[in-house]
Amino acid sequence: MTKAITVSGLHKSFGGTHALDGLDLDVETGEVHGFLGPNGAGKSTTIRVLLGLLRADSGTARLLGQDPWADAVELHRRIAYVPGDVTLWRNLSGGEVIDLYGRLRGGLDPARRADLVRRFELDPTKKGRTYSKGNRQKVALVAAFASDVDLLILDEPTSGLDPLMEEVFQTCVEEERDRGRTILLSSHILSEVEELCDRVSIIRKGVTVETGSLADLRHLTRTSVTAELAGPPGGLAALPGVHHLDVQGARVRLQVESDKLNAVLRSLTESGVRSLTSTPPTLEELFLRHYQEDIQAQEQAQEQEQEQTETGTGTKAVPR
């Protein structure tokens, strides 16, 4: 099967700031792909390059087998896009805008449009200026889900939606997947991504730092284990991959790298387990780990600077 999106080594800078610094992204046909990263990581820039609105400085990008810049118009017939902040024309009604966007793409399924308007509880007769943020978002979502397209590009599409509507949105995404459509979903709502996405890519500072299925990614991270034992534990600290070990009498809390879990469990059972909880890493932890690396690196750099100014030596190495 061909890939819906392939991006490799994408660079884009605005003046002196490098928004994209060699970004890679692969989205398989028919999957829901989560696109994650902190604010300013380059998610929207990537999406705009994919839509042919920005021109990449270097690197390659292919969408549905075509070039997003050169074949923009042809491609857009098969793509629906929902921005994170929808602006509408103040004097056009929501219904008019839905139909306009539909016609500017491959066309609109009237039955599905009516169904979506009902499910999203949208009043299509209101004028653009009178919609709230969530309702503006619904206009764009209805237009996208009712369009006859192969690929949906959703850039933080649910900002402003209430929890009920968030659920409608998730059902819609699942329906689209069942119909064989590909979805690129950029989002900050990690529970949403966890619920919907087959695979995710995490980017930071314009570079992809992690990509794969959630199961793959979990494998790379730590599981939290809390156990109450019959006797005091022995030798846990010596095991590889164990972090944040906290022993209070017979009560043990620790984090262990997921692929080293076996050895820990063996050691625990030796002491006799009374109760055990093991929590797999959430996407949030996964995400925060990458985010915190950033913060730690910054803090370290600052410490180093301070030390240099304090001691004046500047050669002192900071232990990691």
Partner 1 sequence: MTAMTSAAGPTAVRGSGSRHLAGTWPLLRLALRRDRVVIPVWVGVVALMVVSLPSSLKSVYSTAAERADVAHQMLTNSSLRALYGPVFGDSLGALAAWRIGAYAGVFAGIMSLVVVVRHTRDEEESGRQEMVSAGMVGRRAPLTAALLAALIANAALALLITAGLAGQGSSGALALGLGVAGVGMVFATTAAVVAQLTESARLAKGLTGGLLGAAFALRAAGDSAVSDGSSVLTWLSPVGWLENLRAFAHERWWVLLLFAAAVTIQGAIAYELAGRRDVGMSFLPTRPGPAAGRLGTAGALAWRLQRGGVLGWSLGFLAAGAAFGGVTKGATDLVGDNERTREIIERMGGQSGITDAFLATMAGMLGMVAALYVVQSVLRLHGEETSQRAEPVLAGAVGRLRWAAGHLLIAFGGAVLIMLLGGLGLTAGYGQSPGPILGACLVQLPAIWTIGALAVLLYGVSAQAAPAAWAVAGTALLLGWIGPALDLPAPLLNLSPFAHLPHLPGSEMTWPPVLILTAIATTLITTGLTAFNHRDLTTG
**Residues in contact with partner 1 by the rule CB under 8 A:** 44-45, 48, 51-55, 72-74, 76-77, 79, 81, 83, 85-93, 95-101, 103-106, 124-127, 129-130, 140, 153
Cα–Cα distance, 31 to 222 (Å, whole number)? 26
Q: Which is nearer to partner 1, 54 or 264 (CB)?
A: 54
For the CB of residue 100, give the shortest distance to partner 1 in the complex, in Å: 4
The token duo for 219 is 């494998």
**CB closer to partner 1, 85 vs 162:** 85
CB of 125 to partner 1, least distance (A): 4
CB atoms within 10 A of CB 7: 24
Q: Which two tokens stand for residue 67?
A: 């070039």
Q: Minimum distance between the CB of residue 93 and partner 1, rounded to whole angstroms?
A: 3
Output 41 or 283, the one with its CB closest to partner 1: 41
Q: In whole angstroms, how close is the CB of 92 to partner 1 at the nearest point?
A: 7
- Smallest distance from the beta carbon of 96 to partner 1, in angstroms? 3
The DSSP secondary structure of 9-31, one letter per residue, reads EEEEEETTEEEEEEEEEEEETT-
Instruction: Round to the nearest angstrom and report the end-to-end CA distance of the chain.
Output: 44
Among 88, 154, 144, 158, smallest CA distance to 116 is for 144
Contact call for residues 11 and 18 (beta carbons, < 8 A): yes
3-state helix, strand, coil in the chain (%, to 5): 40, 30, 30
Compare residues 55 and 266 and give the one whose CB is closer to partner 1: 55
CB of 268 to partner 1, least distance (A): 52
> Which contiguous run of DSSP H or E holds residue 135?
helix 133-146
Minimum distance from CB of 40 to partner 1 (Å)? 13
> Which CB atom, from 99 or from 198, has the smaller least distance to partner 1?
99
In terms of CB distance, is 26 or 96 closer to partner 1?
96
Cβ-based nearer residue to partner 1, 78 or 289: 78
What are the CA-CA distances from residue 275 to residues 103, 257, 268, 269, 271 (Å)? 60, 20, 11, 11, 12
Q: Which residues of 264-301 are buried (b: 16+ CB within 10 A; e: fewer)?
A: beebbeebeeeeeeeeebbbebbbebbbeeeeeeeeee
| E strand residue ranges, the chain | 3-14, 17-28, 32-36, 58-63, 79-82, 151-155, 182-186, 199-204, 207-213, 222-229, 242-248, 251-257, 273-279
Choice between 51 and 217, CB closer to partner 1: 51
CB of residue 54 to partner 1, shortest distance in Å:
5
